[in-house]
Amino acid sequence: MRSRIGVMRGAAAAGCALALTLAGCSNGGDGGGGADGNADSAQAAPETVTSTVTTTAGEGTDGDASVRSPSPTPGGNDGGNGNGDAGNRGGGQGRGGAECGVDESAPIITDSIAGVEPPSAGDRWELTETNYDPCGELTYALFHQMPQGNSQFATKILMFHDGEYLGVDASSAPQQGWIIGEGDGWFEVEYKDWEALMESGEPNAASPKYTTTITFTWSDEKNRVVLDGELPNQNLY
């Protein structure tokens, strides 16, 4: 079960011009649990636009999930004597002898985000949600751009395998995403698709129906994270 730290939910508001990158919009607004800003109850719910293309991260692309393969753990990837194995969460130990289980204050989270470029001058990344587990096959830490003032703020999702930092969900194109599902070795993210909104010609108020859902999964065969879906907003970078 993931731990939530001050997760923000709310209706999206019109904000910075869409021609600007999200990372440059330091005055963001309240985020939502995926599709924020539901239409008035007197109106029909808007149709959600989603992407279903299957792709993979790594193999010479930065991404879009900007991840790397982890270094070997003592005892190998099968965990050896309870080390580094997602299946040994029941009282076992992870990398460096850390106790298995969700640890929202693990130093590796703050150490890792310190190496990620700030969203814009004077802004910072703030942890809002994590299920980090030193024994987890694939866990995450979701950060929001702070401060915020409208709906166009950036997010970063850091990924970990068996307690080792892998990288972020997207290193180039600006993204705004929320965790909408998770399990052993995977998690699902709903992203705002600003490009699709721009192409539609609709106003900012219509943004809640333009989203893309991506599933991130750890692959033992490929020894890296693979994506089911295609990250949006690639032309906004």
- pTM here is 0.64
Instruction: Give Cβ neighbours of residue 15 (< 8 Å, ≥ 6 apart).
Output: 25, 27, 28, 29, 149, 150, 151, 152, 204
Q: In whole angstroms, what is the distance from residue 153 CA to residue 148 CA?
A: 7
Alpha helices for the chain (secondary structure H) = 107-113, 194-200
pLDDT, averaged across the chain: 72
Residues 203, 155, 28, 23: what is their CA dihedral angle, to the nearest 10 degrees?
Answer: -80
Q: In whole angstroms, what is the distance from residue 131 CA to residue 163 CA?
A: 11
Residue 173's pLDDT band (cuts 50, 70, 90): confident
The one-letter amino acid at 5: I
Q: Token match 């959600």: residue? A: 48
Where do the structural domains in the chain lie, given as residue ranges?
23-34+48-236
Beta-carbon-side half-sphere exposure of residue 83 (alpha carbons within 13 Å): 11
Taking only the tens place, the pLDDT of each residue in 213-232 is 999 999 999 999 999 999 99
Residue 42's pLDDT band (cuts 50, 70, 90): very low
Taking only the tens place, the pLDDT of each residue in 88-122 is 445 566 666 678 999 999 999 999 999 999 988 88
